[in-house]
Chains A and B, each alone.
Chain A
Amino acid sequence: MVRITKILMAAALLIFATTATAKDTLTIGISQFPRNFNPNIESMLAKSYILAMARRPFVVYDADWKLRCMLCTELPDLKKGTAKIVTANDGEKGLEVTYTIRPDAVWGDGVPVTTKDVMFTWKVGRDKRSGFSNIEPYKRVAKIDVHNDKKFTVHVSKFTCDYRTRYSIGVLPAHIEAKNFADPAQYRIKSAYETDTTNPGLWYGPYRVTEVASGSHIVLEPNPTWWGKKPAFKKVIVKAIEKTSALSANLLSGDIDYIAGEVGLTVDEALAFNLRTRENFVTQYKSGLIYEHIDLNLDNPILKDRRVRRALIHGIDRAGISTQLFRGHQPISHGQTNPLDTVYDKKVPKYRYNPPKARELLAAAGWSELRKGIRYNAKGERLQLDLMTTAGNKSRELVQQVLQSQWRSVGIDIRIRNEPARVFFGETVSRRKFPHMAMYAWISAPESVPRTTLHSTMIPSADNGWSGQNYPGFANKAMDKALDDAEVVCDEEPNKAVWRDLQRIYAEELPAIPLYFRANPFIMPKWLKGVVPTGHQFATTLWIEDWYVGK
């Protein structure tokens, strides 16, 4: 008994000790552990979240959705001559973009970040064997001119309006990585980011990685060579806890201080968790560029009829789902463009919950006969649709069951059929095997043109090797033109006009049923200040030096 008491006392002391030192250590809980640490091999949320504390991209969107330089000195600009449109011999419009690396930018081991690193990264990116996930920016770059250690000009074969962000590559430290690239096919395995993750020379952010326990946690400590504002915490620990019920219990028990919004709980989980524990924590919900929707297979004879598609959207109470299930934190969407985006058109056609209208449209489309509450057409076919989504995504499964119930009440028989994510995305959606409806989300960047998801040349088929992501099979000439124009018509007013068209066509034709924009819940202790959710793919940790302990 005495021994147990001793252990308990020691435990109590330990807990006391950790709370006493909590002010200079911040423990963040996230729900997945990154599979690797190389910034260019595979993009995954957990990795970008952690890397953002220890590395900074050239250009980012800030919390106000404005472009900002982080590693460069100023944004390239057509007006200032740091970006130039050039016409090649064949008449194709090309581009030259000039960047200057911050003069004070140095790697954690004191070696300056220079154009050498840029050239090295470009070399790695161009090599097909290196295993970068997205090589588009490297492929498009025909040539890089090096002016000096810090200044370089990128020559691009195709001009697009997003030139300021598109070539913002993640530089790799040439002085460390060059030898690991000796055999390009082995690079992803040999990279120091994987084999020697705590090497200070890999990092140039306010923090650097000092400890990695695979699958469990990562420790970051201030980087002495960081050129910006000194961060407030002496240590940041990022812990991965996959089960969200365990994650929230860890927060309550004090084992973690804060659950990251970007890679943490879903809104319904956060709402469920928060009811009883409001006084210790502040939850900030930030909706953003994760677009939840239901793709409709337009090859299906039932869904080919636009009246049926409109009936579907009139038949569901998206506003009700948003306010009741998500307390309004996930605003309903009227299309794939986010209202926070500068190109958003306020006057885009909107559909309201209107069951009588839905019934009317269905009847007009020939689904007029009701048997036991379900509609049939003249041929005696039953109005039955399959609604598929990822199994195990509780939030989607809940919404799905509500939708099923609501559609049933207007006479549509919905069959729920879910598959594990790997089956759903790996096979069913990417090969357009879903018979009617597939519910999932896109994550996009601000102002990004939805070419791959809406252009008629992007419909996956056996002929094109299943390339493209236009899974509904949406083919619309006006939409194709709008997409083409949106990429190259860059002046503000004409660009907005193109985007207006794009959004209007989307809303009228409904290749997909827009549901809502997903929100990220940031569950913070009251004392943590300065965290500003962004709502797009650039993580809050890009500004971690602004986080501090408040009263």
Chain B
Amino acid sequence: MNAPQSMARRMGRRFLQHRLAVASLLTLLLLALLSLGAPLLEDLLGLDGQTTNLFQRNQPPSLEHPLGTDEIGRDLLARLLQGGRVSLAVAVVAALASAVIGTMIGVIAGYYGGRFDALLMRFTDGVISLPLLPLLIVLAAIDLSKLGLPPSVTQSEDVSLYRIILIISLVGWTTVARLVRAETLTLKQREFVRAAVAQGATAGRIMRVHILPNAVSPIIVATTLSVGNIILFESVLSFLGLGIQPPVASWGNMLTNAQELIWSAPQLAVWPGLLIFVTVIAFNFLGDGLQDALDPRAVD
């Protein structure tokens, strides 16, 4: 038990050395906390991100509205908190879903190998080589009810949210799949896996108990990095009019909506833009730091 503990400690120490990554982690924790606590904070500060007030449009910051109000008089801070909740949740869920899909495909391809592997990897290459954005545009505009989904889903206010998560997980798994496959291929040759095979453990058990836990670091790194990318991608989809739809706020649609207001109320664009930038960059640094820390070949 001593060895893994000291390894974890070493990893922790290496991570802490990456100061930008640590700062990023703290920033992200703060943002996540604020977003999660949005309803509580709104109550505490007496802010309202829902009720419009036509006589309080584009107000500058004040005691009542710490960051001012948006173009239809809603509190900007409250909107940003709600938007953060949505943007972060979408990104995290979509990244996790892609990681799960990618891990399954990767571990299966790597473990069974041969033709099966060749087929899966060709498929993965195929998905990677597709001109994704245009295809996503098609996916984003598809009429869900034509696919036989129940009205309770297609007629929900949050349908754009589910749709984005689904689209991203459908195409975002390739990186993880490749990484996990590569890892599985090497792990398969290791002593402890061979021993397990010799003892007659089932394939499922070997993959679950022996391979996955040891392939976890590249998955963590790739997933962390993709959370940032998804937040950015959500804003791009919003720009194209295919993102999360109002009245649900997201940083992406807030930024897109603020474009026209850049002459009269630039603050409406500055905040969501800044938050996207900071969050994405923080996820990138975090991923970078994790990569350095978790890489067993890395030197102290």
| Residues of A that sit less than 8 Å from B by CB | 243-245, 248, 268-269, 271-277, 317, 320-321, 324-325, 386, 391-392, 394, 397-398, 400-402, 404-406, 408, 415-418, 420, 422-423, 427, 435
B156, B246, B259, B264: the one within 8 Å of A401 (CB): B246
Is A245's CB under 8 angstroms from B141's CB? no
- Give the residue name and chain of the B residue nearest to A433 (CB): B145
A248-B260, A402-B54 given. 8 additional CB < 8 A pairs?
A244-B260, A268-B71, A324-B54, A391-B241, A404-B52, A415-B157, A420-B141, A420-B242
Q: Which A residues lie within 8 Å of B247 (CB)?
A: 401, 404, 416
Nearest A-chain residue to B143, judged by Cβ: A423
Least CB separation from B54: chain A residue = A324
A271 to B71, CA, bound (A): 12
Residues of A within 8 A of B104 (CB): none
> Across the interface, which residues of B come within 8 angstroms of A416, CB to CB?
157, 245-247
Cβ contacts under 8 Å, B57 to chain A: 324-325
A324 to chain B, nearest CB (A): 4
List 22 contacting pairs A-B, 8 Å CB cutoff, sorted by A: A248-B263, A268-B71, A268-B260, A272-B71, A272-B261, A272-B264, A272-B265, A274-B264, A324-B57, A325-B57, A386-B155, A394-B257, A397-B246, A398-B72, A401-B52, A401-B72, A401-B246, A401-B247, A402-B72, A405-B52, A406-B52, A416-B157
Minimum CB–CB distance from B266 to chain A (whole Å) comes to 10
> Looking at the complex, which one of B51, B143, B241, B259 makes contact with A245 (CB distance below 8 Å)?
B259
A400: which B residues are within 8 A, CB to CB? 246
Within 8 A of A (CB), among B209-259: 241-242, 245-247, 257, 259
- In Å, the complex CA distance between A386 and B156 comes to 10
What A residues does B186 contact at CB under 8 A?
none
**Could you tell me how many residues of chain B have their Cβ less than 8 Å away from some Cβ of chain A?**
27
A405 to B72, CA, bound (A): 11
Is the CB–CB distance between B50 and A269 below 8 Å?
no
In contact, B52 and A402 (Cβ under 8 angstroms): yes
Determine the chain A residues whose CB is within 8 A of the CB of B257 once the complex forms. Answer: 394
A35 to B259, CA, bound (A): 27
CA distance A406 to B53 in the complex (A): 9
Q: Which 10 A-B residue pairs are closest in the complex by CB-CB distance?
A: A392-B241, A324-B54, A245-B259, A275-B264, A405-B52, A272-B264, A402-B52, A269-B260, A272-B261, A397-B246
Is B54's CB under 8 angstroms from A398's CB? no
- Interface residues of B: mostly helix, strand, loop or mixed? loop
Cα(A420)–Cα(B139), bound, Å: 13
Residues of B within 8 A of A405 (CB): 50-52
Q: Indicate if the CB atoms of B263 and A277 lie closer than 8 Å.
A: yes
A406 to B72, CA, bound (A): 12
CB distance from A512 to the nearest CB of B (A): 22
Contacts of A273 in B (CB 8 A): 260, 263-264
Q: List the B residue with the shortest CB-CB distance to A406.
A: B52
Chain A proximity of B72: nearest CB distance (Å): 6
User: CB distance B54 to A245 under 8 Å?
Assistant: no
Residue numbers in B under 8 Å from A391 (CB-CB): 241, 245
Q: Which residue of B lies closest to A395 (CB)?
A: B260
Among A276, A386, A392, chain B packs the most CB atoms within 10 A around the CB of: A392
Contacts of B55 in A (CB 8 A): 324
Provide the bound-state CA to CA distance between A277 and B264, in Å: 10
Complex interface: chain A residues within 8 A of B261 (CB)? 272
Across the interface, do A418 and B260 meet the contact criterion of CB distance under 8 Å? no
Whether A272 lies near B263 (C-beta < 8 A) is yes
CB distance from A432 to the nearest CB of B (A): 15
Say yes or no for B133: interface residue by CB 8 A criterion.
Answer: no
Binary CB contact string for chain B from 150 to 183 against chain A (1 if under 8 A, 0 otherwise) = 0000011101000000000000000000000000
Q: How far is the CA of A320 from the CA of B53 in the complex (A)?
A: 10
Asked if B262 is at the interface (CB within 8 A of a chain A CB), the reply is: yes
Q: Select which of B157, B159, B264 is within 8 A of A276 by beta carbon.
A: B264
Closest to B146 in A: A427
Q: Are B143 and A276 in contact (CB under 8 A)?
A: no
A272, A277, A404, A435: which contacts B260 (Cβ < 8 A)?
A272
B residues in contact with A276, CB < 8 Å: 263-264
Asked if A427 contacts B143 (CB within 8 A), the reply is yes
Q: Mark B47-73, 1 if CB is under 8 A from A, else 0.
A: 000111011010000000000000110
User: B261 to chain A: closest CB distance in Å?
Assistant: 5
A319, chain B: closest CB distance, angstroms:
10
Q: For the complex, give the distance between the alpha carbons of A248 and B261 in Å.
A: 11
Residues of A within 8 A of B72 (CB): 325, 398, 401-402
- Nearest to B71 among chain A residues (CB) is A398
- Complex: chain A residue closest to B262, CB-CB: A245
Q: Tell me the B259-294 residues at the A interface (CB within 8 Å).
A: 259-265
Closest to A409 in B: B51
Contact across chains for B241 and A420 when beta carbons are under 8 A apart = yes
- A404 and B51 CA atoms in complex are apart in Å by 9
In the bound complex, do residue A417 and residue B54 qualify as a contact, i.e. CB atoms below 8 Å apart?
no
With a cutoff of 8 Å between Cβ atoms, the chain A residues found around residue B260 in the complex are 244-245, 248, 268-269, 272-273, 394
- Nearest-Cβ distance from residue B185 to partner chain A, whole angstroms: 44
A325 & B54 in contact (Cβ 8 Å cutoff): yes
Tell me, in angstroms, the Cα distance from A320 to B54 when the chains sit together.
7
Q: Is the CB of A317 within 8 A of B71?
A: no
Interface centre among A400, A402, A427 (most CB of B within 10 A): A402
With both beta carbons as reference points, the residue of chain A lying nearest to B268 in the complex is identified as A272
Give the residues in chain B near A243, CB-CB below 8 Å.
259
Complex: A324 Cα to B241 Cα, angstroms: 26
